[in-house]
Structure 1
């Protein structure tokens, strides 16, 4: 009887733990069966990869199907307009990065970053300089020396991206006049780095992962303030001798006027998604750093980023 009692207690304990896990995994009700996640990136680009990976894990916590919609064109302007004109009911969101700030400031767009509502931030992302593995460049110094003698050909994502600004700031810091060629997304850029059209590209680990693992590209430096944990042998741009430090935020925005009930669901869900062990393995492998900023604070974060960026662009003469 004693053994039976112990067995029953153990079984009950297992049952309670299972029930707790099931309760923890029960997705919260949501007012829409399908949620569209919009990005300006081409398939394979950084934001595209971010959304598609996240969409696999969100249904564990929010009872909905998440689909990704690529709206390319206008350096992100078309995607921002797609969001700004969507219903503010939680059915459509957009992947925010510094690109949507730069696009709004550098172009005359129908809708800008002030016309949409920041929802929450998920990650801080690393920007890296890379080249083809079978090319002539072994270090960032090699690239700069080539640019000093023969101008150089560098690549970045669309003209209003943080990657483009990183390349431009590196040019200024190194005192060279390399040609910086813009692309609609990271996938297009990668092709031109691999075929030798470009000396280097500036991009993010998620969009480079497949070519890195295949040994097709070499990382030369990161714009992070310190070396990346996953790539400790890759120096920072700053320690390579060029004082440029940049980090990229990744989050979501919705149309203006999101209902408090919707923002509350996301504020409660994002930390759970980021803590999900399966998802953590995925984003850690991509050198993404979890950096949750809730709805109320994310709005002021974006406003401050926009104001600081505008001031920098005016100071550097890019904006009048």
Structure 2
């Protein structure tokens, strides 16, 4: 009888766990069977990787199929226009990063970040400085020392990116004048770091992962305010002696006028997604830090980021 009681209790416990787990895994109904996630990144770029990994896990929480569409060109301008002219019904979203703010401020675009609606933020991303493993640079100081003697060449993903601004701010803080070469995507940038055309590149862990694991590149520093949990031996730019601290936000935006029913679905689904143990393994391995900013607060966050960025660009003489 005692064994029977134990077995019954275990079965009941398993049944309750299964029911609870099934409930947690039941996706909420969505008005569209297919949702398009647009990015300005080339395949393999930071936003492309972010969307494709997220799209694998989202269907557990939102009942839809998620596809990624790469709309390259104009440092993100074409992708912003793609979103701004899409129906505001929850069928199309765009991967937001500081790039779409910089593109809007630095270029005469048909549509700007003010013409789309921030939906929700997922992560804070690390910006890192890297170089080829078989090159001459072992530390960030080595790179700065060379720039003081012979300028040098640094690389960033595209002209209107946080990576480009990170490189420009580092130049100012270190009082050096290397050429900062822009690229249309992280893949092209990586090629030029590996072949020695560039001394360093500025990028994100997700797009660097294959070359990191292959031992082809070396991390020199991070622009984070503190060292990365996954790379504790890598110093910050600030502790290396240069007062530059930057963090990259990653979220989604939709066309203006998103229905409250749609924003509510995402506000409720994203925290569940980020708590998913399977997805946590993926994004923590890429040094992404969960940072949920819901719809009602994300709009103000983006507007403030845009205002602060515009002020910095005017102060530094980039904008008149």
Fold similarity call, TM over 0.5: yes
Cα displacement (A) at 1:8 = 2.8
Indicate whether 1:224 and 2:243 are aligned.
no
* Alpha-carbon distance between aligned partners in 1 of 2:223 and 2:3, rounded to the nearest angstrom: 62
Correspondence for 1:20: 20
Q: Residue in 2 aligned with 1:311?
A: 311
**How far off is 1:241 after superposition?**
1.1
> Once the 2 structures are TM-superposed, how far is the Cα of residue 5 of structure 1 from its aligned partner?
4.2
Aligned-residue Cα RMSD (Å) equals 0.9
The TM-score normalised by the length of structure 1 is 0.99
Q: How does 1:135-284 map to 2 (within 5 A)?
A: 135-284=135-284
Q: Secondary structure at the match of 2:131?
A: strand
Displacement of 1:14: 1.4
- Paired residue secondary structure (2:159): coil
SS at match of 2:111: coil
Tell me the CA shift for residue 3 of structure 1: 3.8
Query: What 5-or-longer segments of structure 2 have no aligned partner?
Result: none
Partner of 1:114: 114
Match of 2:287 in 1: 287
Match of 2:124 in 1: 124
- Structure-1 residue corresponding to 2:9: 9
Matches of 1:13 and 1:205 in 2, distance apart? Answer: 41
SS for the counterpart of 2:51 is: helix
CA shift, 1:13, in A, is 2.3
SS at match of 2:234: coil
Aligned-partner Cα distance in 2 for 1:77–1:303:
18
Q: Within 5 A, what are the aligned runs for 1:59-98? A: 59-98=59-98
Ranges of 4+ aligned residues in structure 1 off by more than 6 Å: none
For 2:247 and 2:3, how far apart are their aligned partners in 1?
Answer: 59
User: How far 1:9 moved relative to its partner?
Assistant: 3.3
**Distance in 2 (alpha carbons) for counterparts of 1:4 and 1:124:** 51
Gaps of 5+ in 1: none
- Over residues 38-65 of structure 1, what are the superposed CA-to-partner deviations in whole Å (9 max), with x where a residue is unaligned? 0000011100010011001000101100
Instruction: Give the alignment's TM-score, normalised by structure 2.
Output: 0.99
- Write the distance in 1 (CA, Å) between the matches of 2:177 and 2:266: 45
Alpha-carbon offset, residue 164 of structure 1: 0.1
**Using the alignment, how far apart are the partners of 1:291 and 1:8 within structure 2?**
42
Structure 2 CA distance for aligned equivalents of residues 262 and 93 of structure 1: 12
In the TM superposition, what whole-angstrom CA distance separates every residue of 1:135-173 from its partner, at most 9, and x where no partner exists?
A: 000111111111111110000011000000000011111
